[in-house]
Structure 1
Amino acid sequence: MTGNPEHKGHTLYCGLTLEHFTDRRKVARASAAGRTYTRDEAAAALGLRTADFDHPLRAGLLTHSDTSVSAWHKGVVIRLYRQADLERVLRSSRIDWSTVRATPKGHQSPLAQLPTKTQ
């Protein structure tokens, strides 16, 4: 058998290896990178107006990493966005973040000019 074993599409890891893992900095980085945000929280983490959050999605620069069902509204699925993915978007050379963040309310965001990703 090659590669890591899987169960239901998830990689399995040796528990003994994990038990003896002692690099706390790597654990902290992995934990932070895996943190998930709702749409509004992700927009805030990117420093975007919530109305502008759909532009990076439309352009294919960002996609949700997981979903959850709302505890308040039965059957409503909430998309969740991972910290590491948000950081990747922040490093994108396609976006001038200072210009985006300086755009006043009521004016079109420079993100609206991003091309739509084709399927």
Structure 2
Amino acid sequence: MFQPTHLDQKHCSTDCFAASRVTVPMKDCEVCGDPFKAINQASRPSRWCSPACSDTGRKAEAPWRACLECGEPFQSRVPHASFCCKGHSGRYTKRARDKAKREAKKEAGPPIQKLFDEAA
């Protein structure tokens, strides 16, 4: 029977300590349910058995949003995504930039040359 020699002793020998470090717990995949060896990290415990199940699981967790350009619903793992594709992002940005330029021209008033022509 194991009796610790000091308060924080958890293993009877270095061999038992090494064996405890090698043991990897089995866990069921959250997507397919297959058992797998869970390689746990303190910050991110394993949840899926393969990259394919990981992609499926992460996609299922991504919230649905409406694209600002076309209004179609889409899913993205990026928390601040606003567009369903790069093309819609570029089109929306170009339109907003052109609108800002038109408004800046209106605020600037007529060109200088027109002012000189009117004064003469």
TM tier, smaller: under 0.3
Q: RCO (CA 8 Å, sep 6+): is it higher in 1 or 2?
A: 1
Q: TM-score if structure 1 supplies the norm length? A: 0.27
